[in-house]
Structure 1
C-alpha cells in the first residue's frame, strides 16, 4: 500500500486533506513540513501532503522553501479545505486563561477569542494537533484544532465551526518524486519556481512571457534565497497544463530568461475552474502557427 507522509501529528487539517487526496492509503504523520518532504526524498514515503497557501494568511513559507531546495518533488494533486476550527478544552466549565494553536490558526480566530474568551493569552504551537497534545498534558487550557482532532484527542469540545472568515480555505498539495504527469483535464494548474537576475525589470519580463501567451496567473510569491541577501525566488502558479502547447512554450521561455527554473507540477485544480484564454492564445492557435512555420521551412508555403 502506498505510504503518504503528512504534516502532523494526528488530528491536523493536513491529515484531513491527505484522507481526501489519498483515500485508503497508509498515512504517516511527520513532525514538520520539512520532515514530511524528507520522508519522500529518503524513500520512506511515496508521497507527502503539505499545506501551500491559506486564503487568510497567505503562502506557507516552509512548503515553498522545502520544494525549492534539495531533490526535486512535484505536485500531482491538490485539495481545498474549508477552514473551520474546533476548540478543545482541558476541563469542562473551567476558566480558559491560555489558548494554544498554530500561528495561522490563531490569526484566523483572533476575533472569536476576543469575544468568547476575553483576557485569554494565545500561545503559538507547531501545529493545531500539537496544541491539543499540550492541552492533554495540562500545559494550556484550550486548543484551536482541526475538526478531525476530536477523533484522536479525548478532550471536551468548547465550540465547533469557529472562524473569523467563514469562507476561509487552505490549499494542500500531494507531492512525489518526478515522474509521468497527471493527464490534463482542461481545468489544471502549473507551478514553477524561478530565480531571476537581480536587475530592473527582471520580474516584469517573467510575467510578460505569460501575458504574451494569454496565460492567467493564479499566485505569485517571493522568498529570499538563503545565503544570498537581496536575492529572491519567485513562486508562480498559472492556469493550464505543461502538455498544452501554450504552456510548454511559456515555460520554455521562462527557462531561457532565468538563472534557474524548477518545475513544481501540473495537476488538476481542486476547484475545477477552467482557464481564461485570451483571443489568439488557444492551444490551436499555437499549434496552427507552428505548423505554418514548419510548412514555410519545407518550402511548401509562404
Structure 2
C-alpha cells in the first residue's frame, strides 16, 4: 500500500503575511496545510496560476466603498484561461501605525495602499490635514516600509492584525471612513469545470461591445433582462486599443447550469466579438437567487421541445 502524502498545492496571494488577502485565503478550507505564496500584486498572482507556479490565487475584486478593483478586472480580461471558483468577504478595518515611540502629531507622510488610503481619507483630512500620501503595494508592506526605513513615510495605514506580525506603535484605531466596509475576494484557478450549482450562485463574465453605436449597450443588457437575470455588478473598462472601445465586467445572479443563464451566455456569444467566461461559483453571502416562474429551467426545456416538435412536423399536443 502506498504511503505517499497527497501533493501540496500552492496558493498565491497579495503579501506579506497579515494582509486582508491572506485573511480571505484563510477562509478556504482546502487551502489549509498547503503552500501560501506571497506576491507583490494581482497581476503576479494571476500570472502564477496561468504559468503553473501556483494552483490558485486569491485576489481582491470589489470593495463596498470604491467598487470594482480595476487592476484585477483588467488582469482577468488580459490573462486567458482563468476561472473563478469561489468568493469570500472580509470586513475592512484600519489602524494607523508607526515605529515604536512615534507620535500622531509628528506624522507628515502616510504610507498606504491606494484603495486603503481612499477609504481613510476623511479621517486623515480631519486629523492630519497637512499630510501627504506615499503609495504602497499592500497595507502590510506600507507598515514594513516604515519600520525598516525603506519608505520615507512617518506612519502607515495597516490592518489591525499587523500587531501580531510586527513591533509597531498604534497611533490610531478605527480610522476607516465607513464602519461596515467590506472587500470581496475571489479564488482563481486555471481552466476547470464550474462547481456544482447551489441555488445561491453568481456568474462572472467580461464582454466587449461589437461596435460604438446607439443601443449597443442596451442590446447586451437585454441578453440578461429578457431571461430574468439580475446583474449585481456591471462596470466598464477601456479596452485600450482606441478611444471609445470598452469591455464590461459583469456579475450575474445564477449558474451556467441554469437554463436561463446558459441561454443568456449563448446570446452574448452571438452578440459580442469577445466574451470571457470567468466562472460560476457560490455566492459568499449564500443568498438564494429568486426569479419568476416564467424563467424556470422547465419553461426553457418545454420551449425547446415545442420548437423541436414543430420542426419534426409533430401534431400539437
**TM-score, normalising length: structure 2:** 0.90
8 A Cα contact 2:47 2:79, kept in partner: no
Residue deviations 1:231-275 (CA, integer Å, cap 9, x gap): 111111100000111100000000000011110110000011122
Q: After TM superposition, give the deviation of residue 287 of structure 1 in Å.
A: 1.9
Q: Could you say which residue in structure 2 is the equivalent of 1:262?
A: 276
Is the deviation greater in 129-138 or in 182-191?
A: 129-138
The answer as to 2:232 corresponding to 1:218 is: yes
Question: Equivalences for 1:141-220 in 2 at 5 Å?
Answer: 141-197=154-210, 198-220=212-234
Verify the 8 A CA contact 2:100 2:167 in the aligned structure 1. no
The superposition leaves residues 54-100 of structure 1 with CA deviations (integer Å, 9 ceiling, x where unpaired) of 11111111111111113220100001111111222113352222211
Match of 2:59 among 43, 50, 56: 50
C-alpha RMSD of matched pairs (Å): 1.7
Give the C-alpha shift of residue 300 in structure 1. 4.2
Alignment counterpart, residue 20 of structure 2, candidates 13, 27, 44: 13
TM-score, structure 1 normalization: 0.94
- 1:7-50 Cα offsets, whole Å, 9 max, x none, are 22332211111111333332111111111111111110000111
Q: Distance in 2 between matches of 1:185 and 1:80?
A: 18
| Structure 2: distance between partners of 1:260 and 1:300 | 38
Structure 2 SS opposite 1:234: strand
Note the residue ranges of structure 1 that are not aligned, 5 or more in a row.
none
1:88 maps to what in 2? 97
The 1:44/1:93 distance shift into structure 2, 3 A limit, reads closer
1:216–1:276 CA contact under 8 A, matched in 2: no
Structure 2 runs not aligned, ≥5 long: 1-7
Q: SS in structure 1 opposite 2:294?
A: coil
**SS class of match (2:174):** strand
Task: Tell whether 2:281 aligns with 1:274.
Answer: no
